[in-house]
């Protein structure tokens, strides 16, 4: 298989971390598109308040980003149809803008010469895939896919383990979610809803999320069995899924822990982790597994009713899984 040549559209939190991980994995990044000037992009790539300094050399030369001696094309096009991805032989585009998340708009990259696209956001009409859940269903004929949301990436593997082993009758999810770029540091108006405009620095903010319902898109048999909400909290990174489930079969917390441990060591190795340590959120900064089951935090009410907990780096692990999907697409 030829080496994957990756283009990145949108150089925000996810775009930059996709870039960092691509360099680590020796994936060739051939182009970056963002409306910010290249010197500013280089600065944001070099220094990161959460994940630390970039491990390598970053320079700017003649409008190009030069990373570890390799020159990378940088453009500032609002319309992806003008990106001419064929000129840099881009195989797959990671669209990390959060804007082009329909089949029609994501296809702009194909029109511009790219072969395939992975979108870093859930979508209403783009097929969604989650590593460890339905990634084996990706077909060679699919040119555009979505990596769903970071929360769905954590929740769906948890739901799958429960359903595969004990049957998932119904469940409610709460994600205690770190702040994101859409939030405000001081109170102000929000397009989404009144509460979302309140200061992210000093508030726990209830918010809606489609992450739980989206599990039904990647595990169709669970459609309608899960829903949930979010609490945005004043932390910079790392979130946690709190999933309360009713199982179809009678079981025990011991058996549930065993099922998660087995999954983490076998079919979900590298995707799901398992820990019995006394961990907190900061222990998972830059974690590459998208869900780490916290055995010590799980509780049982009765033989069919349980609360389970999974940690996830909503920035880094999500970016890693997006790249894994890109590699799968490239191999088909």
Report the predicted TM-score, pTM, of the whole model to 2 decimal places.
Answer: 0.96
- Annotation says 150 is catalytic: yes
In this prediction, residue 13 carries a pLDDT of: 97
pLDDT for the residue 38: 97
CATH number of 150-314: 3.30.360.10
Give the mean model confidence (pLDDT) for residues 123-140: 96
**Ranges assigned E (strand) in the chain:** 5-9, 28-33, 58-61, 64-67, 70-75, 92-95, 116-119, 144-146, 168-178, 205-208, 226-233, 239-247, 272-275, 291-294, 299-302, 305-312
Spatial contact of 208 and 229, defined as CB atoms under 8 Å apart: yes
Answer whether residue 233 shows pLDDT above 90: yes
pLDDT at 162: 99
- Ligand-binding annotation for 150, yes or no, is yes
143 known ligand binder = no
Residue count (the chain): 332
14 assigned binding-site residue: yes
Is 210 annotated to bind a ligand? Reply is yes
Least confident of 6-20, 210-224, 230-244, 275-289: 210-224
Residues of the chain with CATH 3.40.50.720: 5-121
pLDDT on residue 329: 97
- Residue identified by tokens 């669970």 is 222
- Mean local confidence (pLDDT), 139-153: 97
Q: Where in the chain is the domain with CATH 3.30.360.10?
A: 150-314
Residue 1 has pLDDT above 80, yes or no: no
Under CATH, domain 5-121 is a member of which superfamily? Answer: NAD(P)-binding Rossmann-like Domain (3.40.50.720)
pLDDT at 192 over 90: no
Please list, residue by residue across 128-155, b when 16 or more beta carbons sit within 10 angstroms of its beta carbon and e when fewer do. bbbbbbbbeebeeeebbbbbbbbbbbbb
314 annotated as ligand-binding: yes
Annotated catalytic residue: which of 96, 150, 154, 291? 150
Over residues 172-193, the mean pLDDT reads: 95
């Amino acid at each position: 298989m030829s080496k994957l040549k990756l283009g990145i559209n949108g150089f925000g939190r996810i775009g930059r971390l996709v870039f960092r991980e691509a360099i680590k994995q020796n994936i060739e990044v051939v182009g970056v598109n963002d409306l910010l000037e290249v010197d500013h992009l280089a600065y944001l790539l070099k220094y990161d308040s959460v994940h630390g300094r970039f491990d390598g050399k970053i320079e700017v030369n003649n409008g190009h980003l030069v990373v570890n001696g390799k020159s990378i094309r940088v453009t500032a096009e609002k319309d992806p149809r003008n990106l001419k991805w064929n000129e840099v032989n881009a195989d797959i585009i990671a669209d990390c803008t959060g804007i082009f998340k329909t089949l029609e708009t994501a296809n702009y990259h194909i029109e511009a010469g790219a072969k395939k696209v992975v979108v870093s956001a859930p979508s209403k009409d783009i097929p969604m895939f989650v590593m460890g859940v339905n990634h084996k269903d990706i077909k060679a004929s699919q040119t555009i896919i979505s990596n769903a949301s970071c929360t769905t990436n954590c929740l769906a593997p948890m739901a799958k383990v429960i359903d595969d082993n004990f049957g998932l009758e119904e469940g409610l999810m709460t994600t205690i979610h770190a702040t994101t770029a859409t939030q405000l540091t001081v109170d102000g108006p929000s397009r989404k809803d009144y509460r979302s405009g309140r200061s992210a620095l000093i508030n726990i903010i209830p918010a809606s999320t489609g992450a739980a319902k989206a599990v039904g898109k990647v595990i169709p048999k669970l459609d309608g069995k899960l829903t949930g909400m979010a609490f945005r909290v004043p932390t910079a990174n790392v979130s946690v899924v709190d999933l309360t489930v009713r199982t179809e079969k009678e079981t025990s917390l011991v058996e549930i822990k065993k099922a998660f441990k087995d999954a983490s060591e076998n079919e979900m190795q590298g995707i799901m982790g398992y820990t019995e340590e006394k961990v907190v959120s900061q222990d998972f900064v830059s974690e590459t597994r998208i869900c780490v089951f916290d055995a010590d935090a799980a509780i049982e009410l009765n033989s069919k009713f349980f609360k389970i907990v999974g940690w996830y780096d909503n920035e880094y692990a999500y970016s890693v899984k997006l790249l894994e999907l890109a590699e799968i697409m490239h191999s088909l």
